[in-house]
């Protein structure tokens, strides 16, 4: 019975296998992040792991927009930045404490939500493509404001502050009888560990919340709208209202990710939050990973983060090897890694618009 | 025809939205206080507006005709600026010469090189980048952004990351002085160049057969095909023209700034988008109107509240979107 | 066979994932008005759009005179001598009446004889010659759309529901105009208004659910009330 069913549908098999691969990879990434402080015991790796956690949330919330709703926004880093600056300004002015994180985070999130409603209502009713332009304009204005109102934001230099006491490296989470920090598998149970798990757990919760949203009835409606806007409208879905609410949800989650990022980094500046380069990173992560899959975001973020380190090394070597040829070393300069990534991106959008996860999961499908 | 639409048509006939730049100028005068500053700012605003118009008009037409929004448009602006800077640096002897003819030749070569590059790059861009993804907005945005990333990286690889100076031909240096008012020659030149392009575009659109086809295509491209015309051939011509104008605008902007860096394209793109949204996609008159408003407002606000210069354009855009979601002068039927 | 202007042979057309035409075959002989009748959504408009190349047939053939136009580009089909008047009339509102008509000429110049003839048929066109087309009334827009289709000699005109939303007096004028035009041009008309269709049509095809439900001479259908009720009850209910 089972055999014949499988034999009669040979196309389902690679698709199922592809889905398995994707989920296993995502699970492995999740496990690696969960035990990152124990697996990779140096400061830099810890930093990379925390960045990956935050960017997974950021990219997944962006996927909610671009992949599930089919709207392209360039304001995602603006919301991310609002959450980060909210926490940063509060931590700077109120001193390191959870009250500051809460107050700043809430302020940032509320502001992000208000702006999202405003932008959504103003431009989502006209045309999706308008929306892309409006968000781009809004994001760049926010960036300029952040650098000009330097009394608040520290301008181009950004803000340096302290995190709550729990996260200070001197904090002892577990002590032995002698009052010294306990080491588990060679890792000191100090504030750094607490900070990492604060990042990991909040990001995990946010990511699971996003997974829940796309599996909910709302997710189904969104896909209906993306597939056929006019028909969805005819069936009676209020397309603009749905789109705006998704835009707000994505903005709020991005702002929360920003708050977490600010607490971890203990520094907030235009380059770590608002910059257009980060926006492009997120876009590349989601498209490379696979739009409309959520797990694709996980894979995209990890790949991009690794590429940022290893591709550069590779190019460094290639640039030195071709040092005598004109122009080529310039193009192979590690700073030009985006050039190659951009080309890769174009080819990907042409030939594999579903991205890595999407292509694997749909392989052999209809 | 409904009554509100009729009133709106009347409003348009007596000037309507076209009078907005003039209204803005009049409001600005008392706020600025000094007449000579006002003249300087107004001239700067008009010149800037005309340069932005050059950059924006092509984008708007391309969108109107084919529903293609090219996020890589700013690459043409950047390339135009850098190519013009290189040509002017290469012709440094002519640029600095005490001869109007040589000055003029250098200027002509710089603008010409930028424009020709725009034509060629536009052809390549349309055929290779955009054609495969017609009618798929999401992939269109993604692909053109990919192309933008690559173009910006090529500019960084070729011209380096540090700002480069742009020599200005001697004939465009200095100012006209009338009483206590000084008007920079370059600004006057930029204004008239933009005006000339606007008039030329308007004539082509309204007086020629190809213009007739473009105006019809903006409204209903399917019907133009059903009447026996190949809209794709029309489109590539428009795309190339738009790219060439963007490159020319970039070249003019390079001379205006005197110092350019790789960030130029991105910065201008924001203004271009705001202009196109304000003016209404698909219309040349709308682009001009939006560009003049953005140029004037930017200069006035930079003088009165320096910190709000760019934000002011954003606020202007929001206000206009609230008032007219399709922009001030969208192409009919859109 | 060769005296047919247009021949459709087992044409299937999909729109997206939906199969709209499930094998349409009919012949349009030279001259006169020929009518496609059918309910809303039966596939009449899709048939016209497939002929015009605006939607592609998945299988089957569309033959115009001796040319297989199934896979041809819309503009090339138009250049063979087929004019198309879509349901929304396809008027360029921002262009003047003159510019709308000029676009439909191959060279941009008018044949004075034909133009005079059009002005006789539709005096409003001369009156509003330099007015923008958006300022015309619905009936005048329809007249402009038809004038545009006949400003040059065409072999075949495809017209989609020209009477939709028009006043009875204008419909009567349309009937006269169509009779006049069909003397030297073949017209393929999509209609829901049976009275209008029956007063003009020579042959009729009834399309239902993407298939030909009936085809024959118009007088037969007019005479056979039972057949009418069976084929057209729905559309007759909806349009008196």
Whether B127 and chain A come into contact, CB under 8 Å, resolves to no
Residue B331 has pLDDT above 90, yes or no: no
Residue A1 has pLDDT above 50, yes or no: no
Q: Give the least confident one: A67-76, A213-222, A247-256, B302-311.
A: B302-311
Instruction: Name the residue ranges covered by the structural domains of chain B.
Output: 34-323
**Binary contact (B157, A283; C-beta < 8 A):** no
Whether B143 and chain A come into contact, CB under 8 Å, resolves to yes
- How do residues A105-151 score in pLDDT, each as one tens digit? 999 999 999 999 988 887 776 666 678 888 888 888 888 888 877 77
Mean pLDDT of chain B: 87
- The band of A61, judged by pLDDT with boundaries at 50, 70 and 90, is very high
Integer CA distances (angstroms), C160 to A36, B304, C75, in order: 67, 59, 19
- Residue ranges of B 314-333 with Cβ closer than 8 A to chain C: 331-333
Quick one: chain C helix, strand, coil %, rounded to 5?
40, 30, 30
Whether C103 and chain B come into contact, CB under 8 Å, resolves to yes
**Binary contact (B321, A122; C-beta < 8 A):** yes
Fold of A13-362: ABC transporter involved in vitamin B12 uptake, BtuC (1.10.3470)
Whether C153 and chain B come into contact, CB under 8 Å, resolves to no
Q: Do A299 and A290 meet the contact criterion of CB atoms below 8 Å apart?
A: yes
Q: Do B328 and B320 meet the contact criterion of CB atoms below 8 Å apart?
A: yes
Instruction: List all residues 6 or more positions away from A240 whose beta carbon is below 8 Å from its beta carbon.
Output: A120, A121, A124, A125
- How do residues A147-161 score in pLDDT, each as one tens digit? 877 777 877 788 888
- How do residues A324-345 score in pLDDT, each as one tens digit? 777 777 777 777 778 888 888 8
Q: Are strands B175-178 and B181-184 parallel, antiparallel or unpaired?
A: antiparallel
Q: Which residues of A touch B153 (CB under 8 A)?
A: 336, 338-339, 342
Q: Which residues of chain C have pLDDT under 50?
A: 1, 235-240
State the Cα–Cα distance between residues A286 and A280, nearest whole angstrom: 10
In angstroms, the separation between the Cα of residue C200 and the nearest Cα of chain B is 25
More confident residue, C61 or B174: C61
State the Cα–Cα distance between residues B26 and B21, nearest whole angstrom: 9
Residue B131 has pLDDT above 70, yes or no: yes
Nearest CA in chain B to A286: B142
**Binary contact (A346, B146; C-beta < 8 A):** yes
Q: Give the end-to-end CA distance of chain C in Å, rounded to a whole number.
A: 37
Q: Which residues of C touch B216 (CB under 8 A)?
A: 92, 95, 99, 103
Residue A40 has pLDDT above 90, yes or no: no
Q: Which residues of B touch C86 (CB under 8 A)?
A: 223, 226
Instruction: List all residues 6 or more positions away from C142 whose beta carbon is below 8 Å from its beta carbon.
Output: C89, C162, C166, C170, C174
Nearest CA in chain A to B281: A130
Q: Are strands B259-260 and C201-208 parallel, antiparallel or unpaired?
A: unpaired
Q: How many Cα neighbours within 13 Å face the side chain of C5?
A: 21
Integer CA distances (angstroms), B258 to B161, B308, C114, in order: 16, 23, 61
pLDDT at A2: 41
| DSSP type of residue A69 | T
The mean pLDDT of A183-195, rounded to a whole number, is: 75
Whether C162 and chain B come into contact, CB under 8 Å, resolves to no
**Binary contact (B212, C78; C-beta < 8 A):** no
Residue A174 has pLDDT above 80, yes or no: no
**Binary contact (B230, C78; C-beta < 8 A):** no
pLDDT at A4: 41
**Binary contact (A276, B317; C-beta < 8 A):** no
Residue B7 has pLDDT above 70, yes or no: no
Residue B95 has pLDDT above 90, yes or no: no
Whether B226 and chain C come into contact, CB under 8 Å, resolves to yes
- How do residues B212-252 score in pLDDT, each as one tens digit? 999 898 888 899 999 999 988 888 999 999 999 999 999 99
- Which CATH entry fits the domain spanning B34-323: 3.10.450, 1.10.1410, 2.40.10, 1.10.3470? 1.10.3470
In angstroms, the separation between the Cα of residue B237 and the nearest Cα of chain C is 18
Whether A342 and chain B come into contact, CB under 8 Å, resolves to yes
Whether B277 and chain A come into contact, CB under 8 Å, resolves to yes
pLDDT at B8: 65
State the Cα–Cα distance between residues B208 and B212, nearest whole angstrom: 6
Integer CA distances (angstroms), B179 to A161, B35, B183, in order: 55, 11, 11
Tracing tokens 């890792």 back to the chain, one arrives at A187
pLDDT at B11: 62
In angstroms, the separation between the Cα of residue B226 and the nearest Cα of chain C is 6
Whether A339 and chain B come into contact, CB under 8 Å, resolves to yes
DSSP H helical segments within chain A, as ranges? Answer: 2-8, 12-34, 36-39, 43-66, 76-94, 98-123, 128-148, 150-153, 191-215, 217-227, 229-235, 239-265, 276-289, 295-321, 328-332, 337-351, 355-362
Whether B5 and chain C come into contact, CB under 8 Å, resolves to no
Q: Is the ipTM of this complex over 0.85?
A: yes
Whether B3 and chain C come into contact, CB under 8 Å, resolves to no
pLDDT at B229: 92
pLDDT at C239: 45
Task: Take residue A348 and report the two structure tokens written for it.
Answer: 């990907």
Whether B209 and chain C come into contact, CB under 8 Å, resolves to yes
Whether A146 and chain B come into contact, CB under 8 Å, resolves to no
pLDDT at B41: 92
Closest Cβ–Cβ partner in C86, C106, C134 for B332: C134
Instruction: Name the residue ranges covered by the structural domains of chain A.
Output: 13-362
Q: Which residues of A touch B52 (CB under 8 A)?
A: none
Give the global pTM: 0.83
Cα–chain center distance at B197: 11
Whether A311 and chain B come into contact, CB under 8 Å, resolves to no
Mean pLDDT of chain A: 81
- How do residues B67-87 score in pLDDT, each as one tens digit? 788 888 999 999 999 999 999
For an interface test with B, the pick among C52, C92, C98 (most B C-beta atoms closer than 10 Å) comes out as: C92
Nearest CA in chain C to B210: C103
For an interface test with B, the pick among C51, C87, C90 (most B C-beta atoms closer than 10 Å) comes out as: C90
Integer CA distances (angstroms), A192 to A102, A160, A257, in order: 20, 18, 19
**Binary contact (B157, A280; C-beta < 8 A):** no
**Binary contact (B228, C106; C-beta < 8 A):** yes
Whether B92 and chain A come into contact, CB under 8 Å, resolves to no
For an interface test with C, the pick among B210, B214, B226 (most C C-beta atoms closer than 10 Å) comes out as: B226
Closest Cβ–Cβ partner in C78, C93, C135 for B228: C78
Q: Which residues of B touch C94 (CB under 8 A)?
A: 215, 218-219, 331-333
């Amino acid at each position: 019975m089972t055999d014949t069913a499988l034999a009669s549908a040979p196309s389902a098999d690679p698709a199922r296998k592809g889905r398995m691969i994707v989920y296993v990879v995502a699970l492995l990434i999740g496990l690696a992040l969960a035990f990152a402080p124990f697996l990779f015991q140096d400061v830099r790796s810890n930093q990379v792991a925390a960045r990956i956690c935050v960017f997974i949330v950021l990219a997944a919330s962006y996927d909610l927009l671009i992949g599930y709703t089919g709207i392209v926004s360039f304001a995602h880093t603006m919301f991310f930045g609002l959450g980060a600056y909210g926490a940063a300004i509060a931590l700077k002015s109120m001193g390191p404490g959870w009250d500051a994180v809460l107050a700043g985070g809430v302020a940032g999130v509320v502001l992000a939500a208000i702006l999202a409603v405003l932008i959504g209502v103003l431009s989502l009713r006209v045309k999706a493509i308008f929306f892309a332009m409006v968000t781009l304009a809004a994001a760049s204005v926010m960036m300029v404001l952040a650098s000009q109102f330097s009394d608040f934001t520290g301008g181009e230099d950004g803000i340096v502050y302290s995190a709550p006491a729990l996260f200070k490296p001197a904090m002892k989470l577990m002590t032995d009888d002698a009052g010294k920090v306990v080491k588990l598998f060679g890792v000191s149970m100090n504030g750094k560990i607490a900070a990492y798990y604060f990042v990991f757990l909040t990001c995990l919760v946010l990511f699971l919340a996003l997974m829940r949203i796309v599996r909910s009835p709302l997710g189904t409606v969104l896909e209906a709208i993306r597939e056929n806007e006019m028909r969805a409208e005819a069936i009676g879905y209020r397309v603009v209202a749905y789109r705006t609410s998704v835009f707000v949800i994505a903005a709020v989650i991005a702002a929360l990710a920003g708050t977490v990022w600010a607490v971890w980094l203990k520094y907030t500046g235009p380059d770590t939050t608002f910059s257009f380069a980060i926006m492009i990173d997120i876009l590349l992560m989601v498209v490379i990973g696979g739009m409309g899959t959520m797990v694709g975001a996980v894979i995209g973020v990890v790949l991009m983060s690794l590429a940022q380190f290893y591709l550069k090394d590779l190019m460094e070597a290639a640039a030195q090897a071709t040092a005598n040829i004109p122009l080529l070393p310039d193009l192979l300069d590690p700073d030009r890694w985006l050039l190659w990534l951009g080309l890769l991106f174009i080819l990907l959008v042409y030939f594999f618009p579903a991205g890595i996860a999407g292509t694997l999961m749909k392989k052999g499908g209809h | 025809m409904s009554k509100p639409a009729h009133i709106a048509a009347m409003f348009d006939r007596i000037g309507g939205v076209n009078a907005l730049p003039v209204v803005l100028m009049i409001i600005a005068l008392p706020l600025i206080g000094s007449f000579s500053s006002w003249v300087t700012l107004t001239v700067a605003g008009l010149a800037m507006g005309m340069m932005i118009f050059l950059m924006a008009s092509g984008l708007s037409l391309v969108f109107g005709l084919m529903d293609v929004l090219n996020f890589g448009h700013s690459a043409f602006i950047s390339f135009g600026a850098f190519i013009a800077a290189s040509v002017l640096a290469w012709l440094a002897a002519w640029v600095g010469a005490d001869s109007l003819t040589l000055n003029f030749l250098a200027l002509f070569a710089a603008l010409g090189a930028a424009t020709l590059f725009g034509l060629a790059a536009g052809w390549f861009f349309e055929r290779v980048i955009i054609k495969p993804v017609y009618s798929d907005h999401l992939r269109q945005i993604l692909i053109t952004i990919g192309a933008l990333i690559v173009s910006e990286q090529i500019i960084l690889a070729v011209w380096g990351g540090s700002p480069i100076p742009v020599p200005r031909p001697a004939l465009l240096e200095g100012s006209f002085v009338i009483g206590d008012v000084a008007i920079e020659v370059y600004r006057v030149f930029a204004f008239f160049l933009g005006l000339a392009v606007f008039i030329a575009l308007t004539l082509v659109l309204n007086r020629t057969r190809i213009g007739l086809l473009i105006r019809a295509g903006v409204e209903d491209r399917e019907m133009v095909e059903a009447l026996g015309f190949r809209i794709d051939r029309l489109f590539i011509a428009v795309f190339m023209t738009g790219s060439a104008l963007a490159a020319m605008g970039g070249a003019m902007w390079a001379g205006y700034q005197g110092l350019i860096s790789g960030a130029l394209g991105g910065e201008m793109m924001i203004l271009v988008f705001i202009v196109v949204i304000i003016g209404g996609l698909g219309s040349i008159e709308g682009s001009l109107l939006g560009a003049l408003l953005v140029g004037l407002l930017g200069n006035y606000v930079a003088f009165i509240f320096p910190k709000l210069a760019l934000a002011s354009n954003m606020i202007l855009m929001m206000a206009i979107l609230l008032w007219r979601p399709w922009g001030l002068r969208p192409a009919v039927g859109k | 066979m060769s005296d047919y202007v247009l021949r459709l042979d087992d044409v299937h057309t999909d729109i997206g994932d939906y199969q709209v035409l499930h094998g349409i075959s009919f012949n349009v002989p030279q001259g006169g008005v020929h009518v496609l009748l059918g309910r809303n959504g039966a596939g009449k408009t899709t048939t016209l759009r497939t002929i015009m190349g605006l939607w592609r047939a998945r299988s089957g053939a569309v033959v115009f005179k001796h040319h297989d136009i199934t896979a041809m580009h819309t503009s090339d089909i138009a250049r063979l001598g087929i004019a198309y008047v879509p349901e929304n009339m396809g008027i360029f509102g921002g262009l003047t009446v003159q510019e709308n008509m000029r676009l439909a000429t191959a060279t941009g110049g008018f044949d004075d004889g034909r133009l005079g003839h059009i002005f006789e048929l539709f005096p409003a066109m001369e009156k509003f010659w330099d007015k923008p087309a958006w300022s015309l009334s619905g009936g005048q827009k329809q007249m402009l759309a038809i004038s545009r289709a006949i400003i040059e000699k065409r072999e075949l005109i495809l017209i989609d529901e020209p009477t939709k939303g028009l006043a009875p007096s204008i419909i009567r004028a349309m009937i006269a105009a169509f009779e006049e035009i069909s003397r030297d041009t073949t017209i393929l008309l999509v209609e829901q208004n049976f009275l209008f269709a029956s007063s003009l049509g020579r042959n009729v095809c009834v399309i239902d659910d993407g298939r030909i439900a009936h085809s024959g001479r118009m007088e037969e259908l007019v005479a056979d009330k039972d057949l009418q009720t069976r084929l057209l009850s729905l559309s007759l209910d909806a349009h008196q």
